[in-house]
């Protein structure tokens, strides 16, 4: 081999072999598969350098700086038949420049590592590090029971060679081996290896401990299972029953008063529990199901009271008014008492229950009425809140295939009630929603049908439950959001709100005593006059119920408590004192002010909060003939406005409009409280009246309110919520109210107090209504 320059005595030129997936350290013997490139390097070494070559790792980011000189030990084949060469690494070298050489192999300069970089291997600190490293390696190998390797390591005395043997360690990565190759200092190599080996041993100990714990747990479970099976076999031979587990469930099933089909299903599940091992996940599901069934009050029924007068007294003591629902409960109780007397079967049986839905605005006592009904009947009471429920499984339960499955709210409510015939209050049934999880309202169809609920099947229990003896009471604020099929299964009882006199009675007999007790006051210390209560109900609240009235009474009593603390004389809250105790009045009659100008009419509407007064304003301006509607009106209300304008244009002469051209201008109809959405057809007559008032210049009478749907030919059609609208009219200070003539039967439900204070005028033709509602022409001219 010829060279173009002279090399230092510690350098030599050798063919180089770059390995992709292997790092070779001095002292290692490794096989290398012979591909074309590797064979060229091996052939060059055998031909020109007595079988010696340089081996270095192939790096992606840089040229390798260190490698080893290796000699070719043998050429042969791997177990798979591929050709290979066995190399023995001898010494660490520093790789220099590439040089030209014979053949196709790459040749490089291999420089010996200077002794000062290697360090003194006989130094005391090097011996101590070598001893520590040897001890750690022996400890790790003993854990793996590699005794032959321990003997081989004990024969290595050179610290550098001992450190390079770490190239065989399986826990080192290629990057760590490359770091050792590039560290010529023996001290640094041993120090680094001691740190790595300590971390490896610590991790191995933790892993061994975890594996040991798992193994011990498995062995203990298997041992327990075998012992349990042996114990069961011994008890079976001795004829003894198992004191707990499936046998205990069988005894509980025998002791329970279960229907025949339920008992058969429970015994089947108990049999499955007997055949299942404790390690079977199905065991927990079976126990939970059996516990749920056995906790249900099968065979437990309370006896209804037969004293009709006492039941009526309980209802009257808890609630003032609400005669319709009280009468219905007393009727139900009377029928059941007669069936019991004649042995016609009271408990159970198809259709023996009742389903009532109490519909009315908030604060009228729907929810609290359920507890009173339960007390009057002598039954247990349970409340099921349905507001916001969107999952069908909340009603019917989850199937047992789901993790964490539970029965539905109906079944859980029976368990809470402790009897199979409770009074079950389904609160806020109109707030039930639906989404991708199903429609809970559809699941309630079977629950609330007296002809079907004697075989109600919950998905979790998968058993027929008899709900026909449950008295269901549902509450709702509005009927429109209840699905028609569900509403058809319930008996509708409407609670439209209280009159002013009823509010005074409720406040004196119920609200004031309760708030006196909560404020730790006595009637002798604080007196609230009837006039003050009446003013509170009229001017400080505008609600169909009494919740806000009770809050104001509580506020007044708190103020009174402060005054009693300052001076010990009794406090009297009278009408002139209300501003001091509860603040300024929030509501005052405004109909006269709003209708003082032409084009404004007073209508009546019903919302989920009860009846309300609604003002409709109409105005004509310059511009293209068109109709503008504002006030967040719904589609039905917009159609009513268009119908009203069409009718007024077609009957202008009949309605007394002397200048019909005013209706061909830009007409703007607005319903104030623009932030509140409004919809419905009952404002039709009000819109007609407002348009005629605007076109004639005659204002609408300040004491007049009206409601009714109007057609294109002027017919007044019936609407709903008559009682609530009349209550709102009375509260607003109106004196005359026009209602459709077909709503006359609804006036029977209106309290006599309201009928006496209001003149209710049935109407069939909107033209007659408009003529009576508008102020006389002479009065309009005087006002102008």
CA distance 688 to 646: 9
DSSP per-residue string spanning 684-712: HHHHHHHHHHHHH-PPBPTTEEE--EE-T
E-strand ranges in 79-123 read: 83-99, 107-112
Q: In what order do the strands lie in the sheet with 491-494?
A: 381-385, 423-427, 471-476, 354-359, 491-494
CA distance 283 to 275: 10
Nearest to 763 by CA among 699, 724, 727, 717: 717
Rounded Cα–Cα distance for residues 194 and 190 (Å): 6
d(CA 225, CA 232): 10
Burial class (CB in 10 A: 0-12, 13-18, 19+), 493: buried
Directed axis angle between helix 282-295 and helix 260-275, to 10°?
Answer: 150
Q: In angstroms, rounded to a whole number, what is the distance separating the alpha carbons of residues 674 and 672?
A: 5
| Sign for the pseudo-dihedral over CA of 748, 749, 754, 758 | negative
Non-local (6+) Cβ contacts of 587 within 8 A are 538, 539, 540, 541, 542
The annotated binding site is made up of 360-367
682 flagged as catalytic: yes
Q: Which of 682, 693, 723, 763 is catalytic?
A: 682
Handedness of CA 752, 754, 757, 763 (dihedral sign): negative
Cα–Cα separations (whole angstroms), residue 76 to 24, 43, 68, 86, 563 = 20, 14, 22, 8, 111
What separation in angstroms does the CA of 404 have from each of 288, 398, 401, 462, 759? 10, 9, 9, 16, 62
Residue that the structure tokens 């105005």 belong to: 619
Q: 782 is written with which tokens?
A: 């005087």
DSSP string, 714-779: -BEEP-S-HHHHHHHHHHTT--EEEEEGGGGGGGGGS-HHHHHHSEEEEESBHHHHHHHHBPPHHH
- Number of residues that this document lists for the chain: 784
Q: Which helix (H) or strand (E) holds 33?
A: strand 29-33
Q: Which two tokens stand for residue 110?
A: 């291999």
Q: Which of 591, 596, 619 is nearest to 699 (CA)?
A: 596
Specify binding-site residues for ATP: 360-367
CA angle 449, 452, 456 (to 5 degrees): 105
Rg (CA), the chain: 48
Measured CA to CA, the distance from residue 202 to residue 198 in angstroms comes to 6
Helical (H) or strand (E) element with 66: strand 66-77
Q: Which of 352, 693, 725, 763 is catalytic?
A: 725
DSSP code at position 622: S
- CB neighbourhood size of 371 (10 A): 14
Q: Report H helices in 67-166.
A: 115-118, 124-143, 147-154, 159-164
- The residues annotated with a catalytic role in the active site are 682, 725
């Amino acid at each position: 081999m010829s060279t173009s320059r002279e090399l230092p005595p510690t350098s030599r030129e050798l063919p180089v072999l770059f390995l992709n997936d292997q790092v070779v350290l001095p002292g290692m013997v490794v096989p290398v598969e012979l591909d074309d490139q590797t064979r060229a390097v091996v052939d060059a070494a055998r031909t020109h350098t007595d079988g010696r070559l340089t081996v270095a790792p192939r790096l992606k980011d840089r040229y390798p700086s260190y490698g080893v000189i290796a000699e070719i030990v043998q050429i042969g084949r791997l177990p798979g038949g591929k050709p290979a060469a066995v190399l023995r690494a001898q010494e660490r070298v520093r790789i220099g420049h590439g040089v030209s050489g014979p053949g196709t192999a790459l040749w490089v300069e291999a420089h010996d590592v200077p002794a000062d970089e290697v360090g003194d291997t006989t130094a005391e600190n090097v011996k101590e590090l070598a001893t520590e490293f040897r001890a750690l390696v022996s400890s790790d190998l003993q854990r793996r029971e590699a005794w032959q390797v321990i003997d081989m390591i004990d024969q290595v005395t050179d610290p550098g060679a001992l450190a390079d043997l770490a190239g065989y360690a399986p826990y080192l990565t290629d990057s760590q081996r490359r770091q050792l190759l590039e560290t010529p200092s023996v001290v640094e190599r041993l120090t680094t290896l001691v740190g790595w080996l300590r971390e490896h041993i610590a991790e191995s100990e933790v892993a061994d401990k975890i594996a040991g714990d798992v193994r011990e747990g498995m062995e203990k479970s298997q041992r327990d299972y075998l012992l349990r099976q042996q114990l069961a076999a011994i008890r079976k031979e001795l004829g003894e029953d198992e004191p707990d587990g499936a046998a205990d469930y069988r005894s509980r099933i025998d002791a329970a008063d279960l229907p025949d089909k339920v008992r058969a299903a429970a015994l089947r599940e108990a049999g499955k529990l007997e055949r299942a091992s404790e390690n079977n996940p199905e065991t927990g599901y079976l126990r939970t199901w059996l516990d749920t069934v056995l906790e249900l009050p099968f065979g437990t029924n309370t006896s209804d009271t037969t004293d009709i007068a006492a039941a009526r007294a309980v209802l009257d003591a808890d609630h003032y008014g609400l005669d319709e629902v009280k009468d219905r409960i007393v009727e139900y109780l009377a029928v059941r008492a007669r069936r019991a007397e004649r042995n016609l079967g009271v408990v159970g049986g198809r259709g023996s229950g009742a389903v009532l839905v109490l519909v009315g605005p908030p604060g009228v006592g729907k929810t609290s009425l359920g507890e009173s009904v339960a007390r009057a009947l002598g039954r247990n009471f349970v409340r099921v809140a349905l507001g916001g429920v969107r999952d069908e499984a909340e009603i019917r339960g989850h199937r047992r295939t789901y993790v964490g499955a539970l029965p539905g709210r109906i079944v859980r409510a029976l368990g809470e009630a402790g009897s199979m015939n409770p009074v079950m209050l389904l609160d806020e049934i109109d707030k039930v929603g639906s989404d991708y999880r199903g429609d809970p309202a559809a699941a309630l169809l079977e629950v609330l049908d007296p002809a079907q609920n004697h075989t109600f099947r919950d998905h979790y229990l998968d058993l027929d439950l008899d709900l026909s003896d449950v008295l269901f009471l549902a509450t709702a604020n509005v009927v429109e959001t209840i699905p028609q099929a569900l509403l058809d299964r319930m008996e509708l009882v409407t609670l439209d709100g209280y009159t002013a006199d009823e509010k005074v009675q409720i406040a004196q007999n119920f609200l004031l005593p309760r708030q006196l007790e909560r404020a730790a006051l006595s009637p002798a210390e604080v007196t609230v006059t009837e006039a003050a209560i009446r003013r509170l109900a009229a001017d400080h609240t505008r609600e169909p119920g009494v919740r806000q009235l009770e809050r104001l009474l509580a506020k007044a009593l708190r103020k009174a408590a402060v005054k009693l603390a300052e001076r010990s004389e009794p406090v009297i809250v009278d009408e002139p004192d209300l501003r001091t105790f509860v603040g300024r009045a929030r509501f005052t009659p405004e109909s006269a002010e709003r209708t003082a100008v032409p084009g404004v009419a007073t209508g009546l509407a019903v919302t989920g909060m009860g009846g309300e007064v609604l003002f409709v304003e109409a105005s004509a301006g310059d511009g293209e003939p068109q109709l503008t509607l504002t006030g967040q009106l719904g589609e039905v209300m917009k159609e009513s406005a268009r119908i009203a304008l069409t009718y007024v244009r077609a009957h202008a002469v009949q309605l007394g409009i002397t200048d019909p051209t005013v209706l061909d201008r830009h007409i703007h109809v607005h319903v104030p409280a623009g932030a509140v959405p409004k919809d419905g057809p009952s404002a039709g007559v009000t819109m007609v009246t407002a348009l005629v008032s605007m076109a004639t210049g005659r204002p609408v009478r300040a004491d007049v309110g009206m409601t009714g749907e109007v057609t294109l030919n002027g017919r007044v059609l019936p609407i709903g919520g008559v009682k609530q609208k009349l209550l709102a009219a009375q509260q607003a200070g109106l004196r005359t109210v026009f209602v459709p003539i077909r709503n006359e039967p609804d006036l029977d439900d209106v309290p006599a107090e309201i009928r006496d204070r209001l003149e209710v005028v049935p109407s069939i033709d909107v033209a007659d209504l408009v003529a009576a509602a508008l102020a006389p022409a002479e009065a309009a001219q005087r006002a102008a």
